[in-house]
Amino acid sequence: MFDISWAELLIVTLVALLVIGPSDIPKVMMSLGRLVRKMQHIRFALTHHFDDVMRAVDIEEIRKYNETSSAAIPDTNEAESDDEADIVPVKKDIEKTGGAS
């Protein structure tokens, strides 16, 4: 994530030692550790909440899709009656012409 070399890390440590002082460095490091831990917890909570919201949206989209697709499927009883209505005229035409060969 960060491209920090050993030399840069050493310089940062020396500057921190001079600015903060050797007696306060443990307190500052503990505070920095707590801050990083809180940031990780916030990131985890936001990620978890975002995943929950996305899952809820996906479920809602699937539910809507199922409702629209089930409305588009014709009832089988209606389809059978339509087929029978198509067959009757053809059957009469065959009988008129003298039956099947």
Please report, for residues 77, 80, 83, the alpha-carbon distance to residue 86 in angstroms, rounded to integers and kept in the order given.
14, 10, 5
pLDDT band at 49 (very low <50, low <70, confident <90, very high): very high
Do the beta carbons of residue 32 and residue 24 sit within 8 Å? no
**Tell me: the pLDDT tens digits for 73-83?**
666 555 556 66
Within 13 A of 56's CA, how many CA atoms are on the CB side? 6
Interatomic CA distance for residues 36 and 13, integer angstroms: 18
What is the percent of the chain with per-residue pLDDT over 90, rounded to a whole number? 28
> Helical H runs in the chain?
6-20, 25-72, 76-97
- Under the banding of pLDDT at 50, 70 and 90, the label for residue 96 is confident
